Amino acid sequence: MKKIDEILTEDIRSIAIVGHMRPDGDCVGSCMGLYNYLKDNYSFDVDIYLDDFASSLLFMRYSEQINANTDKTKAYDLFIAVDCSDRQRLGTGSEFFETAGRTVCIDHHISNQGYCEINHLNADACAAGEVLYELLEEDKISKATAECLYTAIVHDSGVFQYSSVTPRTMEIAGKLMGKGIDFSNIVAKTFYEKSYNRNQVLGRALLESVRLMEGKCIFSVISAANMEFYRVKPKDLDGIVESLRNTEGVEVAIFLYETNAQEYKVSLRSKDAVDVSRVASYYGGGGHIKAAGCTMHGSVYDVINNLTKHIERQLMEGSR
């Protein structure tokens, strides 16, 4: 018996699938993959909830069903949280957590402490889509489900580039390709293609980036005024921090965008020497060793000063 059948016990009729705030490709792909899988093989009353996300991901089958339920008092038999490291980071639909009969989490964040009753966690998996794949029955995965799971894995692995990718990741990707998906188009359209405005903001962030610690650290900031000027939303800023990390000599990249007066969303990426999930956790956030985030208060100067203190300490420890 596959693990999914241990979760889908006989007493279950209704299911809510919920992702994290500001959902990325892994979150949308794994939530939609699970939704498609349940729709294809079972007759549950399933609802899926997600915050607003990149329009390039709307190609996934049933995406018009997202947030379709308007009954806020609905109590689900089962609540499944996907790609979300803690209770507070659940996005749209988080209100159904409390009233659900049972809660299940499918995730790969090292900072996940297991906030659900059943937790399928694997911090060695490169994407939540990979953790989910391992729970499913291979011959029940349709082409539509495979498209979602492939997108999830592509996005969290940087197109199979990051060190989180394992031989198993490639095996799973191969199985999904075997379902007849247009993998090349998925990568081009959802990962690399960006609107003109998104590319302009990326250019601006690179142009105004600043190096610290003899070039080992780099940071850039986009103000709320700039976001308005380029007419971009937070979801349009994905990928900027990865571009900063690609700078030669850089160990840690920091990207901030202003969410409110004196409040910044922080994205951290590292190459090898620094565990950025430790840095983000210190400020109430979390994530993975090489990709983490948090929200911080104060001026840009305060935020950078506080972050670099921790980064510098880790770099010193490593060089001893």
Query: Given the rule CB under 5 A, which residues bind Mn ion?
Result: 24, 26-27, 83, 128, 156
Closest to 74 measured CA to CA, from 39, 45, 33? 45
Closest contact distance (angstroms) between CB of 163 and ligand AMP is 15
23 binds ligand AMP (CB under 6 A): no
Q: How many residues bind ligand AMP (CB under 6 A)?
A: 14
Q: What is the residue type of 283?
A: Y
Closest contact distance (angstroms) between CB of 19 and ligand AMP is 10
β-pairing, 286-287 with 263-270?
unpaired
Determine contact, residues 40/145, Cβ cutoff 8 Å: yes
- How far lies 273's CA from each of 65, 249, 255, 317, in Å? 43, 12, 18, 9
69 binds ligand AMP (CB under 6 A): no
29 binds ligand AMP (CB under 6 A): no
Among 120, 250, 287, 307, binds ligand AMP (CB under 6 A): 287
Among 25, 29, 91, 286, binds ligand AMP (CB under 6 A): 286
Residue 47 binds which of Mn ion, ligand AMP, none (CB < 5-8 A, kind-dependent): none
> Which tokens hold the place of 17?
């699938």
Segment (H or E) for 229: helix 224-229
- How far lies 156's CA from each of 127, 209, 242, 302, in Å? 5, 24, 12, 30
122 binds ligand AMP (CB under 6 A): no
Q: In terms of CB distance, is 33 or 285 closer to ligand AMP?
A: 285
Adjacent-strand bridge partners of 269: 253, 291
Residue 294 binds which of Mn ion, ligand AMP, none (CB < 5-8 A, kind-dependent): ligand AMP
Q: In terms of CB distance, is 217 or 266 closer to Mn ion?
A: 266
Residue 85 binds which of Mn ion, ligand AMP, none (CB < 5-8 A, kind-dependent): ligand AMP
85 binds ligand AMP (CB under 6 A): yes
Determine contact, residues 100/76, Cβ cutoff 8 Å: yes
Q: Site map for ligand AMP, 174-213, x if CB under 6 A? A: ----------------------------------------
Other residues' Cβ atoms within 10 Å of the Cβ of residue 58: 13
Tell me how many degrees the CA angle 89-195-269 measures, rounded to the nearest 5: 45
Segment (H or E) for 224: helix 224-229
Q: Which residues bind ligand AMP (CB under 6 A)?
A: 20, 85, 89, 109, 267, 285-288, 291-295
